[in-house]
Chains A and B, each alone.
Chain A
Amino acid sequence: DVKVTQSSRYLVKRTGEKVFLECVQDMDHENMFWYRQDPGLGLRLIYFSYDVKMKEKGDIPEGYSVSREKKERFSLILESASTNQTSMYLCASSGSGTPYSNQPQHFGDGTRLSIL
């Protein structure tokens, strides 16, 4: 079974802090993703990566950065945390494939981040 592990289930930080959210997958997947989930808004993609050291902006990258130094690890960084970044953060990974190939994303359990 695919295992995607997020470093913290719950996290509380203060405004202005630099925050690191870590995600590790054990299935040698090429693709990794960071989402935030807010009530009524569904999942919104922040950043994704399709290879080591490669990254692409998603729909809401402002205020965030990412790092992928190793294939299995994808980090989300809040450069200077603000209260509007309080949210549930979900990491996911998937294997590479062409469209019309069954490559679902596999998710971690999520990190509930509160910025005070």
Chain B
Amino acid sequence: AQKITQTQPGMFVQEKEAVTLDCTYDTSDPSYGLFWYKQPSSGEMIFLIYQGSYDQQNATEGRYSLNFQKARKSANLVISASQLGDSAMYFCATDRGSTLGRLYFGRGTQLTVWP
């Protein structure tokens, strides 16, 4: 089974609108972390936001928030007030309880923001 699933290969959103990028994960460990990364066309991977499995509240970082639904094993990224510079590939990842720092990445969602 896929450890991390991103079902949306591509998403489009108009500038200033909010957008949700989907991510579901598979792990049997009770303690794990979830991460989102952004990769612009220039290629660098930029860490955006982290959610721990025991965190009581959804993580937020500026315009990014994580809609964490533990029972559904879902960790969707919400970007509010989209900007043209948000156009990029977005990757969801989980450590699946690894103590060695290993992350399992989804295949990514290409977000395009149009004016």
Contact = CB atoms under 8 A, between A and B. Distances in A.
Interface residues of B, number: 27
B84 interface: no
A83 interface: no
Contacts of B100: 31, 48, 50, 56
A105 B44 contact: no
A45 to B, nearest CB: 7
Interface stretch (A11-19, A20-28, A65-73, A92-100): A92-100
Interface in B38-59: 43-45, 47, 50, 52-54
Contacts of A95: 101
B47 A105 contact: yes
A104 B97 contact: no
B33 A102 contact: yes
A97 B95 CA distance: 11
Contacts of A43: 91, 105
A40 B44 contact: no
Contacts of B29: 99
Contact of B101 (A40, A90, A97): A97
A99 B98 contact: yes
A80 interface: no
Interface of B: 29, 31-33, 35, 37, 43-45, 47, 50, 52-54, 91, 95, 97-103, 105-108
7 contacts: A31-B102, A33-B102, A40-B107, A42-B105, A48-B102, A100-B52, A100-B54
In the A-B complex, list the 8 residue pairs whose CB atoms are closest, starting with the nearest.
Answer: A31-B101, A107-B45, A42-B107, A100-B31, A99-B31, A104-B47, A99-B97, A94-B101
